[in-house]
Amino acid sequence: MTAVVAALAAAGLLLLIALVLLARRAAALAADLRLVAARLGVNHPEVRVDLAAIAAALDRREAATDAERRDRARLREALDAAGIGVLITDSSGGVVLANRAALPYLSGRPGEAAVEGRVSEAIGAALDHGESFSRELELYTPRRRVVRLEVTPLDDAGGRRLGAVAYLADVTEERRVEAMRRDFVANVGHELKTPLGAMSVLAETLSANAGDATVAERLAGRLQAEASRLARLLDDMLDLSQAEAAADPGLPVSLAGLVAEVAGALGETAAQAGVELIVEGVPAEAVVAGDERQLRTMLGNLLDNAVKYSDPRPGRPAPRVWLRVRAEGERVVLEVQDEGIGIPEAHLGRIFERFYRVDRARSRATGGTGLGLSIVRHVVLNHGGQVGVESHLGEGSLFRVCLPKWREP
């Protein structure tokens, strides 16, 4: 009996201890709730703690925190998607944010390290003197690059320096296009000056010898030749301008019909030049997508060059020019091959440049403008294709154009 009483007394003591602990825990929770309520503005001597209001306030706070987190993530993604590098620093010059485009300039790799040093110097100057900084840097990595750097200090409304922001943009392509444009204008001026100068001299000479029918007839012929040369130059410049524009890839063009048209037009010219033009059969499936006018110009320039540089000689068989078209899988291959003078190996890498001539004297004699192969290259690139050349001096040249085959939408 005594053992039972002792057990009951021990159980009662444990129960009492548990109740005391629970009471203390409840008191602590109540104190925490009152503190939260006070911070939320609901703790007042005459106002009871509304747990539902507290829960709603906490939910609103959590929702606002999530919204801020999404805004930061959105801002970060927008900066990473930017095409220029963005670096943001604190007031001591330490980088606090760098988007994806700016990371290469922080890698310490050769070339980029030079930019990183210039960026650090510019940021230091902006932080110390509050002045913006802008300049272009040249990098000599495997290829020459030009990077534009702009740095601006960041101040708050009270004029306190918060840090600085640096913008880095790769302007290599822009500078290359500008250089090409300057060269093109200079070349065009030179090319136009030559026939115009000749026409002016011929006109003066013709005027002075108007009474001599023989001289007048000869000068008039030369004047007409220079005028034709000028017209060809202007026509090629217009063709080049149109070739530099994007072609319409949505229209199917049958090369069988195109080859027959162009080869038919140039056949008489080739025969008069003593050149045999051979057109091999064009398969019906040789259909490409693009601009028929541009493709006609491309093919005409290739054939015209082949005929001009075939160099027929008396007593020898007429040199031949072949035009072949074949379908290979998902592409169409067009080849123009001649038995002409060929192209020196040193010039093969530049023959598609504007106004580039291997033999300027021969080009002037044949009426070439130096734009034909440049037009060919632009047309091929517009149509998503590739163009290449194989040539051996004194043996002839082979120009090969590969274009994507037309696919039914």
CB contact at 8 A, 149 and 135: yes
CB contact at 8 A, 97 and 88: yes
Domain 83-170: CATH superfamily is PAS domain (3.30.450.20)
Q: Using the predicted structure, report yes or no on whether residue 389 has a pLDDT greater than 80.
A: yes
Our CA dihedral for 63, 67, 69, 70, rounded to 10 degrees, sits at 130
Domain locations along the chain:
2-73, 83-170, 179-243, 247-409
CA dist 335 and 135 (Å) reads: 48
CA dist 43 and 49 (Å) reads: 7
**pLDDT at position 366:** 53
Q: Strand, helix or coil at 268?
A: helix
Q: Cα–Cα distances in Å, from 373 out to 36, 39, 282, 389, 408?
A: 80, 79, 23, 11, 31
Q: What is the mean pLDDT of the chain?
A: 77
Q: Using the predicted structure, report yes or no on whether residue 75 has a pLDDT greater than 60.
A: yes
CB contact at 8 A, 125 and 113: no
The residue among 273, 61, 261, 79 whose CA lies nearest residue 165 is 79
Q: Using the predicted structure, report yes or no on whether residue 400 has a pLDDT greater than 90.
A: yes
CB contact at 8 A, 343 and 209: no
163 Cα distance to chain centroid: 33
The number of residues in the chain equals 409
Residue 4 confidence class, pLDDT cut points 50, 70, 90: very low
CA dist 382 and 374 (Å) reads: 12
Average pLDDT over residues 285-295: 86
Q: Using the predicted structure, report yes or no on whether residue 401 has a pLDDT greater than 80.
A: yes
The residue among 235, 237, 234 whose CA lies nearest residue 196 is 234
**pLDDT at position 402:** 93
Cβ contacts of residue 163 below 8 Å, gap of 6+?
88, 89, 90, 91, 96, 127, 153, 154
**pLDDT at position 194:** 72
Average pLDDT over residues 235-259: 74
Average pLDDT over residues 299-322: 84
Same fold, 83-170 and 179-243: no
Residue 74 confidence class, pLDDT cut points 50, 70, 90: confident
Domain 179-243, what fold? Helix Hairpins (1.10.287)
CA dist 217 and 194 (Å) reads: 22
What ranges make up the beta strands (E) of 104-191? 133-140, 144-155, 161-170
**pLDDT at position 35:** 64
pLDDT 10s digits, 92-131? 888 888 888 777 777 656 556 667 777 788 888 888 888 8
Q: Cα–Cα distances in Å, from 315 out to 18, 41, 51, 342?
A: 124, 111, 112, 20
Q: Using the predicted structure, report yes or no on whether residue 354 has a pLDDT greater than 90.
A: no
CB contact at 8 A, 284 and 243: no
What is the model's pTM?
0.55
CA dist 236 and 374 (Å) reads: 10
Query: Of 2.140.10.30, 2.30.30.40, 3.40.800.20, 3.30.565.10, which CATH number belongs to 247-409?
Result: 3.30.565.10
CB contact at 8 A, 209 and 216: yes
Q: Percentage of residues in the chain with pLDDT exceeding 90?
A: 4
Q: Using the predicted structure, report yes or no on whether residue 221 has a pLDDT greater than 90.
A: no
pLDDT 10s digits, 292-303? 888 888 898 899
What string of H, E and C letters represents the secondary structure of 302-344? HHHHHHHCCCCCCCCCCCEEEEEEEEECCEEEEEEEECCCCCC
pLDDT 10s digits, 163-207? 888 888 888 888 877 777 777 677 766 667 777 777 777 787 777
Q: Using the predicted structure, report yes or no on whether residue 307 has a pLDDT greater than 80.
A: yes
Q: Cα–Cα distances in Å, from 297 out to 6, 239, 256, 346, 378?
A: 114, 8, 15, 27, 11
Residue 41 confidence class, pLDDT cut points 50, 70, 90: low
Residue 399 confidence class, pLDDT cut points 50, 70, 90: very high
Q: Using the predicted structure, report yes or no on whether residue 317 has a pLDDT greater than 70.
A: yes
Cβ contacts of residue 270 below 8 Å, gap of 6+?
276, 277, 303, 307, 321
